[in-house]
Amino acid sequence: MANPSANEIAIVAALRRLKRGEVVAYGEVARRAGLPGRARLVARVLAHASVDDLPWYRVLRADGRIAFAPGSAEFVEQVRRLHAEGVSVSDGRVGTALVRNSLDALLWAPPPSAG
DNA sequence: ACTCTGACCAGCC
DNA sequence: GGGCTGGCCAGAG
């Protein structure tokens, strides 16, 4: 975005803090950015950002489902990238517990294959 | 200024 | 688990 607001900058920073294998909800990202209740703004930021600029695929809906329509190119790509980080996705969703307790996800030690 | 829309969410039933 | 409702607020007509 050409002229990012302070809020958008905070959201981008929160997104960049996500580690491999860590999945969070849009609302959680907003929360970490100091913007509770601004989940939609997170979605806007991601929609506007370049695919390789931010870890967009680590962001899911609050119920653990992928935000894209099942079968869409974006959906398939997100599942592919998550699986590459050791996050199992079945039926278009990861465990809701994994999203709600995203902090725990860090303790589950993601596979040390790449990077 | 106003209406619609949106990679969302939480509370109810 | 599913369907509705109200809340959120930035962009695009």
Nearest nucleotide over every DNA/RNA strand to the A65 CA, judged by C1': B7
* CA to C1' distance (Å), from A61 to B10: 13
Q: Is any atom of nucleic acid chain B found less than 7 Å from the CB of residue A98? A: no
Q: CA A38 – C1' B10 distance (Å)?
A: 13
Q: Does domain A6-107 have CATH number 3.20.20.60?
A: no
Write the pLDDT tens digit of every residue in A11-68: 999 999 999 999 999 999 999 999 999 999 999 999 999 999 999 999 999 999 999 9
Which residues in 78-97 of chain A line strand B, with CB less than 7 A from it? 78
Which pLDDT belongs to residue A56? 97
Distance A81 CA to C4 C1' (A): 34
The answer to whether residue A110 scores a pLDDT higher than 80 is no
What string of H, E and C letters represents the secondary structure of chain A? CCCCCHHHHHHHHHHHCCCCCCCEEHHHHHHHCCCCCCHHHHHHHHHHCCCCCCCHHHEECCCCECCCCCCCHHHHHHHHHHHHCCCCCECCECCHHHHHCHHHHHHCCCCCCCC
Kindly list the domain boundaries of chain A, sorted by start residue: 6-107
